[in-house]
Each structure stands twice: as C-alpha cells, then as structure tokens.
Structure 1
C-alpha cells in the first residue's frame, strides 16, 4: 500500500515551514467571555446552560429592569396571565407542580422565574438596571464592544437617579431581548390631551386604585385587552371596550384536556384543587400528566394549514362557542367573530372576556376612534364618551427594530439589515454579525406547542457554536449570506401553505394585515426542534486566531490536559455517563 498522495499544491515539507504546534493541550480550553442581554426566560436559561456547558467561561448577564423576569416583570396589569397551559409554560428540567390554574396568573410565572434564579444562584451573573444602549462588532479583535447605562453609584437620591455609562466587551454576544418587549402607544390624535388617567398594560401603575367610581375605556382586542377587560369589569362603574378588529376567542391549544379536567365543555379555565396538587407530587404521575398535556398541544399544528380538516372544524366550533357566550348581546358577534381562518391572528383562550362583554356595565364599541379629547374618546360617528381613565392595551413594536445602534461587520446596522423585513439564519443568527446569537428573534415563535423548549434549543445552538469557537480556537464564526438567503427562500414558500398568509392584522406580520410573516417559525414546533438539533457547520465562515491558517492548529501539542498534568481521570471514557450500552436486541 502506498497511502494517499499529497495534493500537488501542497508538497511534503512545505506546509510545515511556517507552522508550529500549539503550546496547549487539545482540551486546555482558552478563556472565553460571553455576555447575555436580558434576564427573562431566555437570559435565565442562558445563565444556567452557558456556565454548565462551557469551561473557562467569563459569563455576565445585563438586565435593564430592576428585577428578573422580562415580560413577566414588566406586565403587571390586572388579569395578566399565561395563554397556554401553565404546565406547558415551564422549563423542561425545572417542573412546577403548584400552578394554581390551567392558565395561571402572571404573578405566579414571575415567582417561578425568581425561584429558578435563586435555585441556580444566577444573581452572581446578573447585573440589574444595566441597559444596553450601543453594540458594535470590532473586526480586528473579533469582539463585541458594548456600551451600557446604569444608575450612578454615588447618585444623590434627593436629586433623583443619575446614570453613568461604561464599556464592556464580549467574545460571544447572546441576546434574549424578546419579540414583545417594546411596548407602543396607539397612534390616536389627542392622546396627550386627556386630563384623566392614561395607562398602558405594559407600563401599569399599581398605585391607581378606587376603580369603583370610574368610567374606563379600554382600547384594543389583543391578548392584553382580552385579559384586562374581565379583570376590570367587576371593579369599575362602567367599562367601554373600543375594538378595531376581529379575533378568535377560543383555545386551540388544549381545549379537550381542559374539558376533561372540568367535566364541562364550556369552561375556559380550571383551578387546580389541593387534591390535584397532591397527586402531582407523585413523580411518575406528574411526569405522565405533563407529557400527555404537552404532546396534546402539539397536535394543534394542522389547524394552521390552509383547508385542513382541523381548520374547518376549528372555525365551526370556535364560532359557535363565541356566539353561545355572547347570547345576551348577540350583535357583538357580528363585529367580533372573524371571517379569516383560525390562527391567522393569534387565538387566545380569553377566560371570562366574552362573558364580561355581556355585563350591564360594559359597552362594546366597534365604531373607529376619531380622537381623544381632554375628557374622553370621540368616535367617527360624532359620539363622545366621557371617561375617567383610558387603558391602552395596544401591544408592542413587532418590527424587530432595536431602539439602540447595533452595528455589525463593515459598519452595517441591524436596523438596516432587517429592512424591508428581517432575514436571519434559523432565527438565531444573521450574516454580517459574527459571534452573535439570539433567542426569540424573527421567525422564532410558534402558534402551538411549547415555546419554552424552542428557547432551550436556541440557547443550546448558541452554546454549540460557542464551544466550537473555543475548542477549535477560532476568532469568529459567521453564518454565510447564501445560507440565510436560502432559508429566507424557504420561508417565502412555506407560509403561503398556511392561514398566516390570509388578510388579518397580526403581530405575526409586524402589525400589518398583509405581508411578510416575521413572527413565526416556518413549520411546527417539533419541526423547529429537529432543525436546531444538529448545526450545519458548513453554513458558516470562520476566521482563525493569530492568523494561523492550518485548520488543525487546535490539536495543540498532541496531549490532553490530563496527559500534560498527569492528573485527573485518564480512563474517563469508561464512566457510566460515557458508556453507551446498546440494547440486547437491536
């Protein structure tokens, strides 16, 4: 045997002229600095997994708010709750058997996140009230340069809070900013002229009390409005819900499971009893309950496929359900029940919303608003309603345009790169922005299934890339433009097969009635998990450290760290955790 001949452009002896073995063991991992932005679900998962998976890591999490929890810290309006089953809205590895209800209040979700932070001692990494205001990738060093703002250490409390700015850098930048984090005021003339109380659901003032004498106008029919209306209805003198569009009020996620718990097909929520919670303490029982519930919510995916049998059933069933609940004021159905398919706009279970609309102290107003005056709201038909308070349940900026400069390679801003719509690679990274990964970026969310497991997989993806960068001693890792363009082409061909391409105003389409779907993953939740499971490293470009071009420089000096130091386990491959024993019958 003569072996494999060398390539003609690399004769023997030539490649080694300038090459030198590394002075490190192959598993003597170089230090790597990771900065995470945001301490909501994504940042909390990152705070657990990055230090767990990566050795020799310097990890910091900057959070702009005064507490952890992200959207669950900010949103404290009456009635705020989870709109998917609570037992599906938790981490795969951190179960909670004490949820109070099938759809639990936001305060319980925040408390859950705070417990997770305490259990895993994440405050050693988290810096609260540290807001990212500028991010720039530096090409020579392949580091992210970050400018942050925080309260000044020596701030004089009597003169108000003063802020100071400082700089930091990162080898890897991970952002968990959330797709619903920048709340917006409605574009209605005269909003600033109103002399009464004006509130936004995402900036709730808990000091506002004495609702019993107030006439309150709630603007909106999204998830926030659907939750706050039934919460305020029993507390106010009169409530006026101003609704511009139509929406499905139903639970496509787990309606059968809810009915099984309540023994009532018309129930829209269920409070777990002490007996339920006691039963959940049985590890095997709870494991089966949770698995069955989560498996069930994944069966809802076909409802989004145009013309599917499940879509046809859903439209008929949900329409009848809404009509039945609005029986006392049947005319509301004409203005609220959609003519678009279930799922085009996010459907919500909306416990109590339809019932509250039929109460004597609630008016449903579908006439468009003309303007807001000093004392109330005037609609285009000339009617003026005197109000004491206006609640704007008008949602968030869903264009993925960050409120601060985010600059990648060659000085290109992410804001420009995301026009006319965001183009990403599997939602986790963007060409031209090396060493940056994100969770809940464009095309991340799912209309059915577990969002938590999506977040976990996105973070594991970022970790795998970070490990590759560290292990192979790379300077940068950047997705190829061609790969992102191919993914974009896939997205363009997928969504026309779904109901999302129908005409309906939705945050899925950046708040527009028609156009590019940027909010949702192009496929089922389970599809996303499979896609993110194994990175396609061939879709990335790499730069070596120290201008060393030989791709095997990372092999080091031919030793492992245990060889080099004559310490540690030198038969680690025989540990129980390492040995994979096949079944006796394959």
Structure 2
C-alpha cells in the first residue's frame, strides 16, 4: 500500500553533482545540448507533495518527533515502529532498584507538556515512564505507533528516492516490507545493553542480571549479591540493595567522581533563592501544598523551572580543563568524597580519581559512598578473571561465592546501528565500525539521503536534559523535511567535506575539555584515550544556537519530476499559498524590524 502511494509522486532521479572545493560545478568535458525548460508548475509557491515518514523508536525522541511532524508537516503519512510492547524507551526498559533521573524532574520533561505534579525533585523511573505514557495517550499517538515492531533492515533506493524497509512483527513472528521518503532513527544510544566480556559469565549457577534487563519479581533480600560496575546505574543500585541483602560485594574497576547530592549543589548556587520558596520533605519529595501551588500559579511554576534550567546549563564551565571553576569544583568534590568515605585510605584510593572532573560522567551521590562503609558491603578492586558456577574468581585466585551477579556494565556505545542501514556507498554499520563515527550536527550522515538520527555522534549530552536537546534536533529535522516537501527536493544528504570539516573542528576543540582526559568513558566508546565521539564541542546553548540556521551550502540535493531540470521549479505559477490558505497576507506590516 505504501509503495502505491509513493508511486503517485512520480519520483525520478537527478544525478547529484558534487561541488568542487572552490564551490564551482565541474564543466562537462564535451558539449551537451541543454533540455529546454518550459513545463512550469501550475501550483502556488509553498505547495507541498505527499510524504511518508518512518521513525524508529517510541521513547522521548520518537514521541516528540511524531507529535511535531503531525503539527507542522502537511500531507503526511507517518508510522513509528517500537520494538517494545510499550512506549517509553529507556524508561520502559530500565527498572532496577533505585533507578531515577539525576536531572531535576521539572526540567526532565517536554517544554510543551509541563507536569506540575512530579512527586519528587528527582523522579523515579516508573514516574517518568508514566509521564511518557500519558503524553502518548493524550496526544493520540496510538494511531501512528506500532508496538512490538522492529526494523531489521533499511536500504536506500536511489531511483525511487525512498527507503525500503524490512519490519518484524515480534508478537506474530512474521516479517513484511515497508517504504518511506524519510527514515528517522530515534532508537537512542543508551539502549543496546550488553553483557560484560567476562569468561564463563553464563556458567554461573545463581541469578545473572543486567541492570537494563532487571527481572520484575527478583527478590534479593537475604542473598549474597555482587554488583559489577560503578557507573551511574551501579551507583544507584548499590545503596538500594545494601539494606536488604545479607552481603553485597561491589567490584570497582575505575575510580569515578561523585558529586554531592544535586539538590544540595543547586541550593548553593544561583537557583538557591528560588529553591528556598519550594517545600520539600526529608526525602526530596514535593509536599502536597507545593504541588497544589505549582498547579495554581503558572507564573511561579515557570519561574521555578527556568531558574533550575539556568543553573543546570551553567555546569558547562566545569568541563573546561584547568579552568578556575573546574579547580574549585574538583577541590570541593574531593573533600566531599573523603568526608563521606570517612577518610578510609583504601576506599579513597580506589574511588577518588586523578583524572579531570567530568572526564567520566559526573554522578551525584545518592547514598552510594555511605553504603560502602556498611558492615555488609565489601569493595573489591581486584580484577575479575572468570565467573565459575559458584561465583567470581579474582586475579588473586580467590573465589567469591555468590547467589546473584548484577552487571551494571552499560551499553554498546559505538553508535553502530543494530541492523543494516545501506545507503549510497554501503552499510552504516561498516562505515562507523571501520572509521570514527561522524555526523553532521549529530543527526545526518553523508551518502545516507533522507536519513536522520537523534543523539548521534557528538550531540550535547554531557549535561542537561535530553528532552530539551531532542526537541531542538526534531525542529531542525522538521525544517529540513519541510524544505524538501516545498521545494521539490527528492533527497538530501550532507556533503562529506562538510562532515569532515565539522569533525576536524570537534576533535581540535576536545583537548581543552575534561572529556578528553585519560579515563575510561562511554564518551570515548569506553576507551581510555580515544577520540571523544559522544559529546558536542561546546555547551548545550552553543548547540541550540548552532541549529537555528540551516546551512544549505553543506548539503547536496536531488530533485523531483520537472524540478530535476530547474531547481526553481517550485516557484510555480506566480502566486503564493499565503494568498489562499487564510494566513495574514500583510504580515510584513506588523513588525517591520523583524528579520524573518
């Protein structure tokens, strides 16, 4: 059915022409006869052609994108394929004990759907999942989201100007084909969880659990449990398990900076005056009276949200290596960690880093450091040799007997797609395996026309809310799609030169940041001294500013139908849609100093 609809567009290829380094178009080596351009379009300027869009994933990025497309793109047919039985992405999948967001709740939401009823300053995973499910239902996205459906392959058809997709219906175990004009990958980077490469891992006789695939009814009370890893998940799991297990063995490979509780830091900063007006109980939950005030006083609520957002944005200077701000923060956090570890020399040596603050993701302390001093907790820094049926063997020959092993060991962060995406010049899986993953503005890839990804290589995910970031990327992509739809552009892709230049700038910038320090970090694909592939070369405000303008000179195009003979075919019959669609045709008189 989708193929027949697409065929109505009468798509024909126009060979894309690469500009020379000086911007000129190469002249043909032999004289050619130019085809006369006479067939004008009888449509007004601003007319659009039908378009079909497929989005992969119904987490925060996919849900926001589906809503935005519905609001702004005319003549749209769209579908969102979600592999899980419910929407929510990472917040559907991650349900380990203690799982919560370390961004303030009222900033970890869509700007267009404020939620004054968050229960606590930092919301648990279940509440964030409920919020996303509520958005999904209230926006009526059930008709475009196909749950339990997984994209297993995608191939670009140059002649047709479409993506040919293979889709798996997980529930019924069947596969079928689909097509689209634009393919949007909103599956996320912290989504593809992986087991650690430990010999004998699955020979263990007890429970083996990954933090991103926590069994719903697992009872850890009274058991001897190992937690491998002290990233953001491990830091939340350890204090959540410690009070109830008989014995907790925590394997730590690398040190990590642990910041004081985020609320404590915010209260000491510029947002302190605003926070002094907010009522919280001893568990950092908003009182019923405070929630009622948020709902009844939108101006107060907005002032609260903006003050905390401004404070969160202000964290970027801490990431500049050797800056005064970084030095002061490092000293304060070191002192905090020493105090919480009660000066324990072995633990301080194991956990307090020598690398720059922020080299690894800075993690707020949620009772983690104090839990390591508990009588039933043992911190092991010896390396793991193998897993044996009764437990874990260390490099010192000790076998630690266990009832359960929890692997808080993270995700595949290589940016490599989970399925083949075949563009003009091959499979993106191969391209990003053989070479450094590079993208244009983190979301587009050379030789992969009409393909966009969210939070791809070098997005600004080092600090601040992902919700806000994905909203800006979605608007950028939507403006490009509208340009193609209105200007008879069949396909669009960034040039290799533009992406190479942006990558060179990014890697030249990174040494001035803590992110490029010598530490093992997912920002560098878990390499100690590799190039920084996960973060933007600047602040999140810098990224938002960068996306405001579309640099058409960085892209190459092919055109639809008669437009392939003249790029200005879309100018049409000399009239404008604005003369007929009910919009204000004298808008230019209202704000004469406005630039757009």
Note whether the superposition's TM-score is higher than 0.5.
yes
Q: CA, structure 1 residues 542+334, in 2 after alignment: closer, same or farther (shift >3 Å)? A: same
Q: CA deviation at 1:216?
A: 0.4
1:395 aligns with 2:410: yes
Determine which of 569, 573, 584 is the counterpart of 1:553: 569
Q: CA, structure 1 residues 248+262, in 2 after alignment: closer, same or farther (shift >3 Å)? A: farther
Deviates more, 1:484-493 or 1:449-458: 449-458
The whole-number CA distance in structure 2 between the counterparts of 1:579 and 1:199 is 64
1:544 aligns with 2:549: no
1:59 aligns with 2:78: yes
Deviates more, 1:274-283 or 1:537-546: 274-283
Q: CA, structure 1 residues 348+111, in 2 after alignment: closer, same or farther (shift >3 Å)? A: same
Contact map agreement 1:129 1:150 (CA 8 A) in 2: yes
Determine which of 273, 284, 300 is the counterpart of 1:270: 284
Q: CA deviation at 1:148?
A: 0.8
Contact map agreement 2:248 2:377 (CA 8 A) in 1: yes
Q: CA RMSD in A?
A: 2.3
Show CA shifts across 1:259-305 (max 9, x none). Answer: 54589xxx997222223222222100010011000001111111111
The whole-number CA distance in structure 2 between the counterparts of 1:445 and 1:252 is 23
Total equivalences in the alignment? 553
Describe how 1:316-395 pairs up with structure 2 within 5 A: 316-327=331-342, 329-395=344-410
Show CA shifts across 1:398-440 (max 9, x none). Answer: 1111221111113343432453310111111010101111111
Q: TM-score with structure 2 length normalisation?
A: 0.89
* Corresponding residue SS for 2:121: coil
Describe how 1:461-540 pairs up with structure 2 within 5 A: 461-540=476-555
1:285 aligns with 2:300: yes
Contact map agreement 2:440 2:502 (CA 8 A) in 1: yes
Contact map agreement 2:391 2:401 (CA 8 A) in 1: yes
Q: CA deviation at 1:184?
A: 0.8
The whole-number CA distance in structure 1 between the counterparts of 2:63 and 2:546 is 23
Q: CA, structure 1 residues 556+374, in 2 after alignment: closer, same or farther (shift >3 Å)? A: same
Describe how 1:39-438 pairs up with structure 2 within 5 A: 39-151=58-170, 162-209=172-219, 211-250=220-259, 255-258=264-267, 260=272, 261=275, 270-281=284-295, 282-327=297-342, 329-438=344-453
Q: Which residue of 1 aligns with 2:584?
A: 572
Determine which of 446, 451, 455 is the counterpart of 2:470: 455
* Corresponding residue SS for 1:140: coil
The whole-number CA distance in structure 1 between the counterparts of 2:167 and 2:561 is 29
The whole-number CA distance in structure 2 between the counterparts of 1:54 and 1:436 is 17
Q: CA, structure 1 residues 506+88, in 2 after alignment: closer, same or farther (shift >3 Å)? A: same
The whole-number CA distance in structure 1 between the counterparts of 2:418 and 2:581 is 49
Q: CA deviation at 1:177?
A: 1.4
Q: TM-score with structure 1 length normalisation?
A: 0.90
Q: CA deviation at 1:573?
A: 3.0
* Corresponding residue SS for 2:364: coil
Q: CA deviation at 1:474?
A: 1.0
The whole-number CA distance in structure 2 between the counterparts of 1:418 and 1:530 is 31
The whole-number CA distance in structure 2 between the counterparts of 1:107 and 1:302 is 32
Q: CA, structure 1 residues 559+414, in 2 after alignment: closer, same or farther (shift >3 Å)? A: farther
Unaligned regions of 5+ residues in structure 1, if any? 1-8, 152-160
